[in-house]
Amino acid sequence: MRNAFSEALVRLAKADPNVLLLTGDHGYALFDEFRKACPAQYINAGIAEQNMVGMAAGLARTGFRPIVYGLSAFIPVRVVEQIKLDVAHDKLPVIFIGDGAGFVYSHLGTSHQSTEDIACTRAIPDLSVYSPADRFEVTACMDAAYQSKSSVYLRMGKSDRGDVHAAIPKQKIGALLQARPANAADIAFIATGSMVRTALDIATASYPDAGVWSAPFIKPIDSAQVAAVCRRARTVVVLEEHSVLGGLGSVIAEISAEFAPVRILRIGVRDRFSHHCGTYEYLLNEHALDRAAIEQRIRDFLAAT
């Protein structure tokens, strides 16, 4: 996933000299290739995210295409107001990359963990929110963000969970991408980012007829397609490495409630901070987001239906 991101950055910057990469002193090894290929298009703005985002707006106003990189705990959460006022208000073509979303920094604690970034950004008008699940979706999201010529937040979570597609998806912005075909099962899975892999593993093992959809586009999202998925299933399970408040689960529940009511199990972070530190897998377990805990929750939910 990170290679795909770096490759997309270098490719976009080489093709368009107005692409500028701004970082808040993060991404040490990640940008080696970029700094070698496009040194004049690289700006380390220092540990000063608020100014960096304001400057990105100024640079965009003078014709540049800034790509602003940071950890998702800082870009976008620390700078929500700069994104809203300086960038999205005028649909400026700035792409925000929030890396390490969810519990990637499992050992570092709450300051570096990010489970509220989707909720913080999706209510901002004229800001798109993308959340790719694998290297193919990263490439598709980077290209979509660049071509949109508007303001985009791209969330990058745990990057080494393996592919969920076999090739770069070609669907239009907003589409749910089918990661596993549906055979008219009672249950459907919609997931985003790192949790698409988990959804696939659970469906393959326990619900062989269930479809799995990846949602790389949190906003905009094709609500007709979401409603169609909800209409065909008796239960929809939504999975994300993000708070259940305001994330993908909320998006799906909102659309379902309005167009295609169905029981929805929202699997995500249940409105709590991490209490302990440990490996990524340990943190998933603490938040009951490991595969076994999720399977149990689904069984309990189905039994109670």
Partner 1 sequence: MTVPTPNFDAKVLRKTVLEMAYSGATVHIGCAFSIIEILAVLYRNHLRYPTNDPRAAGRDYLVLSKGHGVMAQYACMRELGWLDDEAFTKYFANGSDLKGLSDSRIPGLEVTSGSLGHGFSVGVGMAMGAKLHGTDQKTYAIVGDGEINEGPIWEGALFAAHHGLKNFMVIVDENGFQAMGSTEDVLKLGSIQAKFESFGFEAVTIDGHDETAIDSAIARLWKSDTGLPKALIARTVKGKGVPFMENNNIWHYTRLNPDTYRQALSAVAGEST
Candidates 37, 50, 222, 285; binder of partner 1 (CB under 8 A) is 50
Listed ranges 48-56, 114-122, 198-206, 235-243: which one lies at the site for partner 1 (CB under 8 A) = 48-56
Listed ranges 57-65, 169-177, 210-218, 257-265: which one lies at the site for partner 1 (CB under 8 A) = 57-65
Tell me if residue 215 falls in helix, strand or coil: coil
What the block records as the tokens of 76 is: 């976008």
Cα gap 163→23, rounded to integer Å: 27
Nearer to partner 1 among residue 92 and residue 238 (C-beta): 92
Listed ranges 39-47, 98-106, 160-168, 262-270: which one lies at the site for partner 1 (CB under 8 A) = 39-47
Nearer to partner 1 among residue 86 and residue 240 (C-beta): 86
What the block records as the tokens of 287 is: 């938040």
39 in contact with partner 1 (CB under 8 A): no
What's the helix, strand, coil split of the chain in %, to 5?
Answer: 40, 20, 35
Listed ranges 58-66, 97-105, 137-145, 190-198: which one lies at the site for partner 1 (CB under 8 A) = 58-66
Nearer to partner 1 among residue 43 and residue 228 (C-beta): 43
Listed ranges 47-55, 134-142, 243-251, 274-282: which one lies at the site for partner 1 (CB under 8 A) = 47-55
Cα gap 116→130, rounded to integer Å: 14
Within 10 angstroms of residue 11's Cβ, the number of other Cβ atoms is 16
Report strand pairing: 217-219 vs 211-214: unpaired
Candidates 4, 9, 19, 56; binder of partner 1 (CB under 8 A) is 56
Nearer to partner 1 among residue 6 and residue 82 (C-beta): 82
Cα gap 180→243, rounded to integer Å: 25
Q: What is the 8-class DSSP label of residue 171?
A: P
Q: What is the 8-class DSSP label of residue 110?
A: G
Within 10 angstroms of residue 262's Cβ, the number of other Cβ atoms is 18
Candidates 9, 59, 226, 230; binder of partner 1 (CB under 8 A) is 59
Cα gap 127→216, rounded to integer Å: 15
Q: Determine contact, residues 99/27, Cβ cutoff 8 Å.
A: yes
19 in contact with partner 1 (CB under 8 A): no
What the block records as the tokens of 250 is: 């909320």
48 in contact with partner 1 (CB under 8 A): yes
Binders of partner 1 in range 80-109 (CB under 8 A): 81-82, 85-86, 89-90
14 in contact with partner 1 (CB under 8 A): no
Interface with partner 1 (CB under 8 A): 20, 43, 45-46, 48, 50-64, 81-82, 85-86, 89-90
